[in-house]
Structure 1
């Protein structure tokens, strides 16, 4: 959510910031409603001052035994006028906010211009894609050949874009999730947090899912929403709060199912587990001060990168361009893994700094140590990482010529004696 004072201070700069997002000028319309609101509020203050004065005059007249009918009639007229002005101010503010809440965050200067993923910038690459020396299979070919990945059963139970995992493959998924969560909690300083999977309108609004992205969400019959990511409830833990600065940064991590309607994805990634309505993810969220948010962004991204390195995956860090950066983000790094079966780079984690954009929507502030007043917090979120996509990457990267897959050593504490999946008997 944007501060209208920022628009008021430099309308041209605000329009230029939105132009980087591919949006037309909007400052003039916002300020038209802002001016109407402020004019109505000023008039209402003048009316209230006159009402206060009349009240005193009526009292004086009555104490002197005079007639106060005309003054009382004026007071009634002023009350009607006051109600009208308050209504006008509220209507103008609503119209102003409808515009503001639909606009994306202002991008950091270092975010490159561009329209889509083709214009993203690769900053670092770990490892090189290599030929495995035999025809590589995609993850679903491996999983189905073992009878451990069942899309037919999932379709019978729930429809398209769901998966049933069985046996050792289900255990591998669980091992990946436990490994990631343990790493972030035990070694990276995040607090493990178990969160609701259903949230209310205010919670979805706070992180920017509502009202703009309603079609991407699942809603229950009682008006709650299934979370698209644990970012939503984790970040909203700070909603309406004034946190003391010495409690910051506030780092939280959660393993949860995520639910997405995948609106607009018809025909994309219909085979396999890449684009699902339900998937598990380890999410990292940081709530901090403006002075430390950039440092936290780098550190969070490094936490996710460590996961990929320890799993023996080939990966790269990508700085998203203006046209590919998410609605609430001021800067985003995507981590992409190389999938030998697809012979393609695919996103496995997004780590975003949202600045104070979400905090303004949520009313989340902090009080500086030894200082007066409060300021808006900065919020950050990152996948640490998507469990299903990590499973895909492990299967395709560590597949062997005989159709089996070696289990990364880092997962041994959760895999027991299983070191290879799908090995011929």
Structure 2
């Protein structure tokens, strides 16, 4: 295995903060559909979050943002790491601009040929990983602490995608007269900036108790688009679709976001499938040595055809990370089920009260979240809104969200955190 293989795997951890989600969509435009007119806002939303079911937030911060990862922190992290782990993160910037506003009543009664419309631009960096404990141990502690032990990596998956979307959207493009249903459709162009996909299976490392040799076997499939800066590495299309209806019990939303595909013209693919073990006559590497090098680099002098992977380049269509979501709004609470198509992500369920601690245009709403890249999170949203004096309609809305409050208070104990901010103006 070449030294670049170490960077390839360790890179799965260095993306853990550089990523983002439409998954944390605001409920602003959802609630607007309950009004008599469909109103499209103009504004911006930014969100940054990360999560893991095993790694604590302080370790993630040091690893990704920068800072010293001491031996003590590594040993403490190992105590909490699970046999099967998930980690991931999302960073997103989303801007929307109203380009046409029409009365919902006029649309339903066909008094206008034009529909409420908007344009949008967004950039998202999303990563997710599902990995075995043995991989983490070998990367951060080396193989010396595990002399005479068979370190097995049965199934590790990693994916990282960065892309931009440029879209145009319409509300009630296909209206149903005198119906409680309303829809929103967005179509657009996607530009992929980076695409990485790794799968490591049936891999094992055994170190002789006397440190005379290491037995290695691995099965690798890694696809990497490279990075071409602002020009991108691939191009495609996407669509967002939302349907909303009301009943006596509340409002229901069915949402599909970012359903699309892109073609990457020069995808590098590194593959290796090994059925037998290869013995490497090298000493083991301890934790101290790992501070300046990697134990994998010690294999380079004895690298042979049995260990070297095959590399090829090809054009490939890939699916963008899409999102499926169901929302229910009652007078008392909001309920949300959401799934993001990225490796390591689990279906997410969240519940929050509709109104809580309201005073002078400000409100604070708690939210309990289960799933995603984490096991659970307690989130809080601070919102401020203003209304038009004439018709009492919403005019501006600003919000700051804190994800994983427990991780902000106890960064060495919890394992997921994030922040979001948004501002919208309604014409």
Question: Which band: TM-score by shorter chain?
Answer: under 0.3
Higher helix share: 1
Higher strand share: 2
